[in-house]
Chains A and B, each alone.
Chain A
Amino acid sequence: MKDNFSVFLASLGAFLVAFLIIPIAVTVSTQLFDLNALIKALNDEVVLNSLFNSIFTSTVATLISLVFGVPLGYVLARKNFKGKNFIQAVVDIPVTIPHSVVGIMLLFAYSEAILDNYLGIIAAMLFVSASFTVNSARDGFMSVNEKIEYVARTLGASKVRVFFTISLPLALHSIFTGAIMSWARAISEVGAILIVAYYPKTAQVLVMDYFNNYGLSASRPIAVILILISLVIFVTLRRVAVVKGGGSI
């Protein structure tokens, strides 16, 4: 029997999927008719440097979020303490603040130290992306039955050993998923970077620069390269996460 209701729901969903995919498809396919411009951009040192800056800074920001965010996620998952809700709110707040405001706040707080340097780009990226790693790590640790950790301890393992041999491996899939989201959020950040560190130029800032100075067509090749690199890395990492975790994310 035909399931009309499911068809109706799928149609509504299809509208959103189409809305999301059309800009990507149109931008990439239009550029494919102008391969020369794409090749020229790929040979342009300014473009290549900006791509390196984007990938390098977003990767560093993600690694920092892992180093500090995973322990925080563990504490939030396992411990009850006064002010826990406040800490959780602090982790979630960056998602709600406009990113230009984030840039201004960062400048007020750390001023010259982060102005127009790698540190500034990384700081802006970390601010807007860390919550993904922290929350995923917290959810991952929460999904690990605490009794299993205690069983490991009754077998003689210290708390530290239990963390590294039991809790962390069991939460790794969730942490990895969060890290991918953090990286994706970091490499897509513009607003805060524009204010904090216009230089060294990242690809996302360069796209805006070209658009403002030379128009839509001039900014498109860099945009397409950025789209393709992001997609390849994102899809690859997701596949790795699925294989390692034995499930889907």
Chain B
Amino acid sequence: MLKVEDLSKSWKDFSLKRINFEIQKGEYFVILGPSGAGKTLLLEAIAGIFIPDSGRILLNGEDITEKPPEKREIAYIPQNYGLFDHMKVFDNIAYGLKVRKFAREEIRKQVEEIAKALDIKHLLDRKVKNLSAGERQRVAIARAIVISPQVILLDEPFSNLDVNLKNKLLREMKRWRRELNFTAIHVTHSFDEALSLGDKLGIMMNGKMDQVGEVKEVFSKPKTEDIARFLGYENILEGHAEGKILYSENIKIELPQEFYGRVRVMIPPQNILISKNMIFSSARNNFKAIVEEFEDLGALIKLKLRVNGIKLAAHLTKASFVDMGIKEDEEVYVSFKSTAIHVF
């Protein structure tokens, strides 16, 4: 439906470098990346706020790269929501319909319908100046959805909200998506937004879209070490591979397939099993480890372990942690399947 091909743009000291991705109708595409990755610049290019230096943007097969914003049918919600402060909520939502010369009654009907769906019908006569951040966000979404655009672009829509409100609106956004079935590109630096809303995920760093895929796939198989580190993964090891064996420091690790030469691998902390006794299994890598310290992550405990010269992190449920009575400097056994290892 929307295809971005080799899009590049230089802006002051920053540049977007050959961005490629495609989304389908009804898909919710989340672009995740640290601040300064170029996410907003990419959205602005798709919205038509500026023309890229090279590359193309195709919407339903039509090249819209140089079309002005008003002819694209792509609605844009900037980070501060971009509400028209001199208008009431009703007039904000009705703006796009008035532009399209809908009849007065039809405008009222559509505005009231969308306002009802987003629980803001009681605000229609209020000035937007007097709204809370959460209310402003709903008005901005209503204003975008009511014109039935092909795609809605959302720039960090939850960044101005406190945690409780954000969680509430995240749940509601999932509901609105189901009920209103819109296509969206949502940029954020927050993992929970990506995990709870995204059908598809793109990782953007330093002006490049480094990986695009299903959310689960990107989180479980980050394509590069940089992405893995950005996603918060630990246990990234470097070593020399000879066939299915990786030699790293003083340990031998069995790999899922054959590799040769220097390789980097990542062992997801949630895939490491901890036990008081050695688990014998041919499919597993087993090591004796020392518990250096542990960290409370809420429902999970993160154990920081030393295996010979290597440091590993492992996640354990709080219940298991208490049952096992693990203490610092204690000896435990760690094991992980070779298939759990991700080779970059």
Stretch at the interface among A109-117, A121-129, A150-158, A192-200: A150-158
User: Given A155-B143, A156-B99, A169 and B76 touching (CB < 8 A)?
Assistant: no
**B71's closest neighbor in chain A, by CB?**
A156
Contact B47 A155 (CB under 8 A): no
Cβ contacts B87-113/A at 8 Å (1 or 0 each): 000000001100110000000000000
Contact B47 A161 (CB under 8 A): no
Stretch at the interface among B29-37, B77-85, B297-305: B77-85
- Decide if the interface of chain A is mainly helix, strand, loop or mixed: helix
Is A166 interfacial (CB 8 A cutoff)?
yes
User: Given A155-B96, A156-B100, A150 and B76 touching (CB < 8 A)?
Assistant: yes
Contact B82 A156 (CB under 8 A): no
Contact B147 A156 (CB under 8 A): yes
Chain A residues with Cβ below 8 Å from B69 are 150, 153-154
**Assembled-state Cα–Cα distance A175/B146 (Å):** 33
User: Given A145-B82, A148-B84, A154 and B47 touching (CB < 8 A)?
Assistant: yes
Contact B82 A148 (CB under 8 A): yes
Contact B70 A151 (CB under 8 A): no
Within 8 A of B (CB), among A135-192: 145, 147-148, 150-158, 161, 165-166, 169-170
Is B222 interfacial (CB 8 A cutoff)?
no
**Assembled-state Cα–Cα distance A155/B147 (Å):** 7
User: Given A147-B78, A150-B47, A157 and B84 touching (CB < 8 A)?
Assistant: no
| Option from A145, A157, A158, A170 in Cβ contact (under 8 Å) with B86 | A170
Contact B143 A154 (CB under 8 A): no
Cβ contacts B38-78/A at 8 Å (1 or 0 each): 00000010011100000000000000000011101011111
Chain B residues with Cβ below 8 Å from A154 are 47-48, 69-70, 72, 74-76, 149, 153
**Assembled-state Cα–Cα distance A169/B86 (Å):** 7
Chain A residues with Cβ below 8 Å from B70 are 153-158
Within 8 A of A (CB), among B219-262: none
Chain A residues with Cβ below 8 Å from B78 are 147, 150-151
**A156's closest neighbor in chain B, by CB?**
B99
Within 8 A of B (CB), among A200-247: none
The size of the chain B interface, using a CB distance under 8 A, is 28
Chain B residues with Cβ below 8 Å from A157 are 70, 95-96, 99
Chain A residues with Cβ below 8 Å from B84 are 148, 152, 166, 170
Contact A151 B82 (CB under 8 A): yes
**Assembled-state Cα–Cα distance A170/B128 (Å):** 13
Contact B68 A153 (CB under 8 A): yes
Question: How far in angstroms is the closest Cβ of chain A from B330?
Answer: 56
Cβ contacts A31-53/B at 8 Å (1 or 0 each): 00000000000000000000000
**Assembled-state Cα–Cα distance A156/B96 (Å):** 6
Chain B residues with Cβ below 8 Å from A158 are 70
Question: How far in angstroms is the closest Cβ of chain A from B222?
Answer: 33
Best-surrounded residue of A148, A154, A157, A158 (most CB of chain B within 10 A): A154
Contact A151 B77 (CB under 8 A): yes
Question: How far in angstroms is the closest Cβ of chain B from A67?
Answer: 22
**B129's closest neighbor in chain A, by CB?**
A246
**A168's closest neighbor in chain B, by CB?**
B86
Chain A residues with Cβ below 8 Å from B96 are 155-157
User: Given A154-B76, A156-B147, A147 and B82 touching (CB < 8 A)?
Assistant: yes
Chain A residues with Cβ below 8 Å from B147 are 155-156
Cβ contacts A95-136/B at 8 Å (1 or 0 each): 000000000000000000000000000000000000000000
**A170's closest neighbor in chain B, by CB?**
B86
Chain B residues with Cβ below 8 Å from A151 are 76-78, 82
Cβ contacts B125-161/A at 8 Å (1 or 0 each): 0000000000000000001100101000100000000
**Assembled-state Cα–Cα distance A145/B44 (Å):** 15
Question: How far in angstroms is the closest Cβ of chain A from B183?
Answer: 14
Seed contacts A154-B69, A158-B70; 10 additional CB < 8 Å A-B pairs:
A147-B82, A148-B83, A150-B49, A150-B76, A153-B68, A154-B149, A155-B143, A156-B70, A165-B95, A166-B84
> Which 9 A-B residue pairs are closest in the complex by CB-CB distance?
A151-B82, A155-B96, A153-B69, A156-B99, A154-B76, A154-B69, A153-B70, A147-B78, A169-B86
9 contacts between A and B (CB under 8 A): A148-B82, A150-B49, A150-B76, A151-B77, A152-B84, A154-B74, A155-B144, A156-B96, A156-B147
